[in-house]
């Protein structure tokens, strides 16, 4: 049976491979620091369940220290070599829109797997969506290799070079999600709940829904990630008020609540991996250029999500 631990092992092996390629990259003056960063991160996936919590915590602190001190670097990418640039451009012209096939396979396989694999003994039912996503990624990876007639080693190496470009921001979602869980355990959700009860009329479903969806977006803007905001806002408003007090559907509340949080992601520099890193990769002069373009979309989607929540969460 494919379990969540299988996914963790694959992720750990991938990050350890990034560490290995960094050690061999003499064009990167900080290759040893990069190798330590990705190696430690990979070990947390491979052995996190077996290591003492204290050791895992120390490893997380080490990752934060490396990232916070700006010691990560980037070597010269293979794609920057003139002969490879010409080869890549020629391949792009030859394949055209077929290059989108591997990318489109990921959501397609994920959807099919989510709807079908839960009825089989092949995968762990409670994590079927995440496992299906990994299967979809592997399928897309294999199809891309066959289509482009390239080697898996080159592909993994190129993936590592991309991760070096993104840097510490690549692990930001996981760290922020852990921080959100920590806030929830610390009772921040209860504080939010009491604050909401003192401000908004509890007899108004619309007011409570607005408080939840806009709170998700606002807390996401502060934390930088919807997964960090979700446990706090759901414990403070979603479950006690929308579900328990007003009888709302928890599945609809959770789904639309997360989408509301993602609206906040579009509007904050704290979501560095989504907004600041793309600006750097595209070499934009304005590091907030991405946010300035998409914040209006974020506001519009937040209003739509709020309307959907109010219309459906109490009726199904």
What is the reported pLDDT for 284? 77
What is the reported pLDDT for 108? 95
- Judged against a pLDDT cut of 60, whether residue 241 lies above it is answered with yes
- Which one of 108, 137, 171 terminates a domain? 171
Q: Are residues 13 and 77 in the same domain?
A: yes
Q: Are residues 123 and 9 in the same domain?
A: yes
Q: Are residues 211 and 112 in the same domain?
A: no
- Domain assignment present for residue 59? The answer is yes
d(CA 264, CA 258): 10
Q: What secondary structure does DSSP assign to the chain, as a single string?
A: -B-HHHHHHHHHHHHHHHHHHHHT-TT-TTHHHHHHHHHHHHHHHHHTTTS-HHHHHHHHHHHHHHHHTT-------GGGSHHHHHHHHHHHHHHGGGGHHHHHHHHHHHHHHHHHGGGSTTB-GGGHHHHHHHHHHHHHHHHHHHHHT--HHHHHHHHHHHHHHHGGGGGHHHHHHHHHHHHHHTTHHHHHHHHHHHHS-TT-HHHHHHHHHHHHHHHHHHHS-HHHHHHHHIIIIIIIIIIIIT---HHHHHHHHHHHHHHHHTT-TT-HHHHHHHHHHTT-SSTTHHHHHHHHHHHHHHHHHHHHHHHHTTT-
Question: Lowest-pLDDT range, 215-224, 269-278, 289-298?
Answer: 269-278
Q: Are residues 80 and 216 in the same domain?
A: no
84 pLDDT band (50/70/90 cuts)?
A: low
- Judged against a pLDDT cut of 60, whether residue 20 lies above it is answered with yes
79 pLDDT band (50/70/90 cuts)?
A: low
Q: Can you tell me the mean pLDDT for 193-213? A: 85
Report yes or no: 88 and 129 within 8 Å, Cβ to Cβ. Answer: no
- Domain assignment present for residue 177? The answer is no
Q: Are residues 38 and 149 in the same domain?
A: yes
Q: Are residues 200 and 122 in the same domain?
A: no
Q: Are residues 152 and 239 in the same domain?
A: no
What is the reported pLDDT for 132? 93
- Which one of 171, 203, 226 terminates a domain? 171
Q: Are residues 159 and 37 in the same domain?
A: yes
Burial of 309 (0-12, 13-18, 19+ CB in 10 A): buried
113 pLDDT band (50/70/90 cuts)?
A: very high
What is the reported pLDDT for 122? 84
236 pLDDT band (50/70/90 cuts)?
A: confident
- Which one of 171, 200, 217 terminates a domain? 171
Q: Are residues 48 and 141 in the same domain?
A: yes
Q: Can you tell me the mean pLDDT for 23-42? A: 90
29 pLDDT band (50/70/90 cuts)?
A: confident
What is the reported pLDDT for 83? 63
Percent of the chain with pLDDT strictly greater than 70? 95
- Domain assignment present for residue 182? The answer is no
What is the reported pLDDT for 104? 93
Q: Are residues 28 and 166 in the same domain?
A: yes
Q: Are residues 219 and 284 in the same domain?
A: yes
Structurally, how many domains does the chain consist of? 2
- Domain assignment present for residue 179? The answer is no
Range of the domain at 303: 187-312
What is the reported pLDDT for 77? 66
Q: What pLDDT digit, counting tens, does each position of 126-145 carry?
A: 889 999 999 999 999 999 99
What is the reported pLDDT for 75? 74
Q: Are residues 160 and 13 in the same domain?
A: yes
The vertex-286 CA angle with 285 and 289, nearest 5°, equals: 125
What is the reported pLDDT for 269? 84
What is the reported pLDDT for 82? 63
């Amino acid at each position: 049976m494919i379990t969540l631990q299988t996914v963790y092992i694959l992720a750990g092996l991938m990050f350890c491979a990034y560490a290995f390629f960094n050690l061999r990259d003499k064009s990167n003056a900080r290759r040893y620091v990069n190798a330590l960063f990705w190696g430690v991160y990979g070990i947390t996936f491979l052995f996190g369940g077996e290591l003492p919590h204290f050791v895992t915590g120390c490893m997380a602190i080490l990752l934060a220290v490396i990232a916070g001190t700006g010691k990560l670097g980037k070597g010269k990418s293979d794609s920057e070599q003139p002969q490879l640039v010409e080869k890549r451009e020629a391949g792009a012209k030859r394949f055209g829109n077929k290059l989108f096939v591997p990318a489109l396979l990921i959501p397609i396989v994920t959807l099919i797997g989510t709807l079908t694999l839960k009825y089989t003994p092949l995968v762990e039912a409670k994590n079927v969506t995440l496992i299906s996503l990994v299967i979809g990624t592997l399928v897309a990876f294999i199809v891309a290799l066959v289509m482009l007639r390239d080697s898996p080693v080159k592909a993994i190496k190129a993936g590592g070079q991309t991760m070096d470009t993104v840097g510490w921001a690549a692990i930001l979602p996981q760290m922020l999600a852990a921080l959100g869980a920590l806030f929830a355990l610390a009772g921040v959700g209860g504080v939010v709940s009491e604050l909401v009860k003192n401000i908004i009329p509890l007899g108004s479903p619309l007011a409570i829904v607005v408080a939840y969806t806009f709170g998700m977006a606002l807390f996401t803007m502060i934390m930088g990630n919807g997964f960090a905001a979700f446990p706090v806002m759901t414990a403070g408003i979603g479950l006690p008020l929308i579900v328990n007090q007003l009888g709302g559907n928890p599945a609809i509340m959770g789904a639309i609540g997360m989408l509301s949080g993602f609206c906040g992601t579009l509007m904050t520099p704290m979501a560095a991996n989504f907004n600041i890193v793309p600006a750097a990769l595209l070499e934009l002069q304005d590091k907030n250029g991405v946010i300035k373009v998409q914040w209006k979309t974020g506001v519009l989607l937040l209003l739509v999500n709020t309307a959907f929540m109010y219309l459906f969460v109490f009726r199904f």
